Amino acid sequence: MIPYGHHDIDDDDVAAVEAVLRGEWLTTGPAVTDFESDLRAWTGDVPVVAVSSGTAALHVAYAAAGVGRGDEVITPPMTFIATQATAVALGASIVFADVCADTANIDPAAVEAAISPRTKAIVAVDYAGHPADMDALRGISDRHGLVLIEDAAHSLGSTYRGRAVGSLADITAFSFFPTKNITTAEGGAVAVRDPERLLRAREFARQGLIRDPARHRVADQGPWHQEVHSFGLNYRLPDVLAALGSQQLRRLAGFKARRAEIKAAHDAIYAGVPGLEIPVQRDDVDPIWHLYPLRVPADRRREVFERLRASGIGVQVNYLPAYWHPVFADLGYPRGLCPVAEDFYSREISMPMFTSLTDDEIGVVGEAVITALQP
């Protein structure tokens, strides 16, 4: 089976992990600090807090933004449900805004229409690695005094109008799951521009612990003393995984180049085939292609998907519109809220896209797709 995504680990990655395993610090040590520093080279020098997963990164992002009970958070539906679940966990309500038909990224016009007096934050999800229209969203967020958050689980390494993802939003959340652009096995990070929000993010991800004596409410209790002023969670990324992340970052430019080659090879096979739509790249972005979302006729999507799986192609669909999950239906969210997203979902199949995918395998996938489309 050729999977739709796969990690890429080499001997240097293994050696980096082994060095930590043989050292003094398995967690809370210098490899974490080094990884956070290394990430800044890819975030436009915006400071970073490493955490234990992409979901943790989103939870930390919302906490740092001050999202809480009674707030509304505007998100697109074309994303993994963690984008919404972590805001709901803090007491917020989700308002869905439809997406652009070409990129499946949140539509700024739909965002503007969704704003209410309770809106706290706007969340852009960089679907497939293609950055959203961040300048338009920045204009909206600034006019209304809202926090702009970028769910960049797919897009570490992408740029928008020459600026790095990680520098575009107030807070950016990354994921390092094995199928992502780099991996720490499990892991994530948040890039935070504002110093106060950065401090809030770091403390929330470290159980709320405050070690700075200057901020303690009870003074001069001894060098062991630490305090919790607001609750947080243990979202630490251990050194052994951070070391893998730093080594993977050294390969990210090569990963990006190979993903671009695979995107071009897929395009050459599928462009012009009746009934197929290939992923669009807007002129003002330089994406790292995390997914290859091919669109097929909606009335044949399941048939084509099952034929591909049967032929050994491990395709996937990304994603079920989030409000179609029963958890949102139980809260009263109806289908039909975002017709553009629903149409995109009805036709999308993710083709294999990972750096170790060979040119021969790309050809095998292409032949299988063309065959699966036959009546």
The CATH number assigned to the domain holding 201 equals 3.40.640.10
195 burial via Cβ count (<10 Å: 0-12, 13-18, 19+): exposed
How far lies 336's CA from each of 23, 302, 329, 331, 356, in Å?
55, 20, 12, 15, 39
235 plus 307 within the same structural domain:
no
78 in the same domain as 190: yes
Are 240 and 272 part of one and the same domain?
no
CB 19 within 8 A of CB 250: no
Clarify whether residues 265 and 245 are in a common domain.
no
Query: Is 68 found in the same domain as 31?
Result: yes
Dist. CA 17–CA 109, nearest whole Å:
46
For residue 234, give the DSSP letter. Answer: B
Q: Report pTM.
A: 0.97
Asked whether residue 196 falls in the same domain as residue 257, the answer is no
The pair of three-digit structure tokens given for residue 295, joined into one six-digit string: 């669109």
**Most distant CA pair in the chain, distance:** 79
CATH of the domain at 286: 3.90.1150.10
Per the structure, the complete domain to which residue 171 belongs is given by: 2-249
Based on the structure, what is the number of domains in the chain? 2
Last residue of a domain, one of 218, 249, 280: 249
What pLDDT was estimated at residue 220? 80
Which of 249, 264, 280 is the last residue before a domain boundary?
249
Of the candidates 120, 180, 256, 263, the residue annotated as catalytic is 180
Same domain, 274 and 224: no
**H or E element: which one contains 2?**
strand 2-3
77 and 177 together in one domain? yes
Domain edge (last residue) among 249, 279, 298? 249
Instruction: State whether 241 and 262 are in the same domain.
Output: no
By the 8 A CB rule, do 64 and 203 touch?
Answer: no
Q: Is 236 found in the same domain as 260? A: no
325 plus 271 within the same structural domain: yes
Residues 77 and 109 in one domain: yes
Chain centre to alpha carbon of residue 361: 26
User: In three state form, how does the secondary structure of 91-159 look?
Assistant: CCEEEECCECCCCCCECHHHHHHHCCCCEEEEEEECHHHCCCCHHHHHHHHHHHCCEEEEECCCCCCCE
**Residue 263 appears among annotated catalytic residues:** no
β-strand pairing of 147-151 with 171-175: parallel
pLDDT tens, the chain, 375 aa long: 999 999 999 999 999 999 999 999 999 999 999 999 999 999 999 999 999 999 999 999 999 999 999 999 999 999 999 999 999 999 999 999 999 999 999 999 999 999 999 999 999 999 999 999 999 999 999 999 999 999 999 999 999 999 999 999 999 999 999 999 999 999 999 999 999 999 999 999 999 999 989 899 998 888 899 999 999 999 999 999 999 999 999 999 999 999 999 999 999 999 999 999 999 999 999 999 999 999 999 999 999 999 999 999 999 999 999 999 999 999 999 999 999 999 999 999 999 999 999 999 999 999 999 999 999
